Amino acid sequence: MQTKRTVFHSRVLPYFLLAPQLIITLIFFVWPAAQAIWQSFLRQDPFGLKATFVWFANYTRLLDDPDYLNALGATFVFSVGVTVLSMGLSLLFAVCVNRVLRSGRFYTTLLVWPYAVAPAAAGLLWWFMFNPSVGIIPYLLSFLGYEWNHRLHTGDAMVLIIIAAAWKQISYNFLFFVAGLQSVPQSLTEAAAIDGAGPFKRFWTVVFPLLSPTTFFLAVINITYAMFDTFGIVDATTSGGPSQSTNILVYKVYADGFIGLNLGPSAAQSVILMLIVVVLTVVQFRWIERKVQY
């Protein structure tokens, strides 16, 4: 690993400098994670008096549990929904902003601020928009003959959290797409134009393929976001309901652990989530090393 050609010489100073970060990491990150792994192999008796080592019984039971499989399915639908909706809109806006050079900055300012809104607050904003008694969207939908109620209809609840989560993520994707578009060489689009390609053809055959590294990177980031940073949105709007339709994995870990107090199964869920983060992080870092090749 890289350092400077010449370095300072000191036996103790570097350890002092690293100490705060390492101590916090060990106490609040590594130790709890190790505890979770250890507990995922144990089963407590109903009184919490003794625990027996049960190998992978917690995991097998989890994978047989229809509620857990349901949460996996919900997480999948949610992540894909958020990623596609948010990236699609952001790409559209980024392409437009890239076309209007002069007023681009103005539009950018108006599009980036939702990044700062807390997930719980974003959830509440859309919860209000979709409120079955006074919300404006159910009101408009009622003219189309659709009766919106995310407290009763499972599909409505999923749509609500997807929209709230995608809304918050648009600004992030937008900024990265704009940066990606600006690095596409102007000469290529000009050459394509001389060859007679119209704006749409130029975009799909020249610009979009060149954007694929950005697109791939953002897809990974968005899936990570949808899976792990959306706890506040779910908690503030649907709390996992109705009938568990929006009980995504991060929410289920919390609900089973803190409300249900099922230590073993909850720990097994934690470990599975950690594995998912590890995979996503590795994919993300490989992208940085190699980018996408043609």
Partner 1 sequence: MVENRPFLNFLTHLVLILGVLTVVFPVYLAFIASTHGPTDFMSGIVPLLPGDQFSANYGYLLGTGESTAGAPPFLLMLGNSLAMAIMIAVGKIAISIISAFAIVYFRFPLRVPAFWLIFMTLMLPVEVRILPTYKVVADLGMLNSYSGLVIPVIASATATFLFRQFFLTVPEEMMEAARVDGAGPMKFFRDILLPLSRTNIAALFIIMFIYGWNQYLWPMLITTEPQYYTVVMGIKRLASVLDGDNQWNLVMAGVILAGLPPVLVIIFMQRLFVKGLVETEK
59 near partner 1 (CB under 8 A)? no
Of 129-148, binders to partner 1 (CB under 8 A) are 129, 131, 133-136, 139
232: nearest Cα among 68, 140, 137, 121? 121
* Residue in the block written with tokens 């089973």: 256
Q: Are 112 and 161 in contact (CB under 8 A)?
A: no
235 near partner 1 (CB under 8 A)? yes
Task: Tell me the window of 50-58, 79-87, 154-162, 225-233 that interacts with partner 1 (CB under 8 A).
Answer: 225-233
Instruction: Give the nearer residue to partner 1 in terms of CB position, either 45 or 289.
Output: 289
Nearest approach, Cβ of residue 158 and partner 1 (Å):
18
* Binding residues for partner 1, total number by CB under 8 A: 101
Give Cβ neighbours of residue 45 (< 8 Å, ≥ 6 apart): 51, 52
Q: Which residue in the set 47, 55, 143, 258 belongs to the binding site for partner 1 (CB under 8 A)?
A: 258
CA-CA distance, 14 to 17, in Å (whole number)? 5
CA-CA distance, 149 to 134, in Å (whole number)? 11
Of 89-118, binders to partner 1 (CB under 8 A) are 89, 92-93, 96-97, 99-101, 103, 107-118
The mark string for 144-183 relative to partner 1 (x by CB under 8 A, - otherwise) is -----------------------x--x-x--xx--x----
Q: Which residue in the set 62, 87, 253, 268 belongs to the binding site for partner 1 (CB under 8 A)?
A: 253
Q: Is 7 left (phi over 0), alpha (psi -120 to 50) or beta?
A: beta
DSSP 8-state secondary structure symbol assigned to residue 48: S
Task: Tell me the window of 35-43, 44-52, 65-73, 74-82 that interacts with partner 1 (CB under 8 A).
Answer: 35-43
- The CA-CA-CA angle for residues 52, 277, 120, to 5°, reads 100
Instruction: Give the nearer residue to partner 1 in terms of CB position, either 8 or 53.
Output: 8
Of 263-292, binders to partner 1 (CB under 8 A) are 263, 266-267, 270, 273-274, 277-278, 281, 288
DSSP 8-state secondary structure symbol assigned to residue 42: E
CA-CA distance, 17 to 130, in Å (whole number)? 51
Give Cβ neighbours of residue 270 (< 8 Å, ≥ 6 apart): 36, 40, 253, 257
Task: Tell me the window of 3-11, 43-51, 60-68, 153-161 that interacts with partner 1 (CB under 8 A).
Answer: 3-11
80 near partner 1 (CB under 8 A)? no
DSSP 8-state secondary structure symbol assigned to residue 30: I
